[in-house]
Structure 1
């Protein structure tokens, strides 16, 4: 049941990110994670990871197939769903997370906007506390 929900969440998150114009490497996912190619958005994985960290969203910068970016500034990010699934989140929340990721990356240079996203992230995590 849990692993099934992890995959359903990953598919929903990938679809939500694609709706915002992000290219998902391999066109989607069949497992717990996805690679997002940021090159069409004119940013790299390091820049995205740092902005998302400031907004309270954890991802990893990651090289993507045929990446020509320097190793410390890869062209993508890796996003996974096990942690949010453990909190009890489902597909609806994945679409909310996709919106938060898109907003963060669109406004990555705006500290005030990132703080506003961070407040939304905190609200979401309060609604779905870690199981004890």
Structure 2
């Protein structure tokens, strides 16, 4: 028992953090409810619907699909950084992510997508097919901006891509 007490204090916890204890109690209570089980199931169903929506539009996922709340979308030959930036300007939150075969974390070939936030807002499987369409449109816009950047600049580096994205009226109206 002394070993456990020593491991908890001072090693892991410097004092009684009542706010953390309370938060943990609330989270554990919520996780016991049948509604939480349904919510977790819906998150997985939505992730699978998003996966199917991207696959039917011709995209690849790093694992071919998903069995959890996340998807890793292979956006090559574009970069995850560029796709992330375009989607961000459209109000879609994603984040760039390395995928197998990437040679540098500075130029990732993937975008990570998750379904919990939209599931919490009440979206269902059909809504995630529409989300896949929005992602597809964002990818197509990224391709357009990339082509323009290659025409206008010697190097279509991320900084030139962003400069074009922020300054070109035809892109901003898309």
TM-score normalized by the length of structure 2: 0.61
Q: Is the partner of 1:47 in helix, strand or coil? A: helix
Number of residue-to-residue matches in the alignment: 110
Structure 1: stretches of 5+ with no match in the other structure: 114-132
Encode CA deviations 1:7-42: one digit per residue, 9 max, x unaligned: 000000011011111101111000000101111xx2
1:76 aligns with 2:113: no
Aligned positions of 1:1-132 closer than 5 A: 1-39=38-76, 42-68=77-103, 70-108=104-142, 109=145, 110-113=171-174
More helix by share: 2
Q: Is the partner of 1:74 in helix, strand or coil? A: coil
Q: Highest relative contact order (Cα 8 Å, sep 6+), 1 or 2?
A: 1
Question: Which has the larger Rg?
Answer: 2
1:66, CA displacement in angstroms? Answer: 2.4
Backbone CA RMSD of aligned residues: 0.9
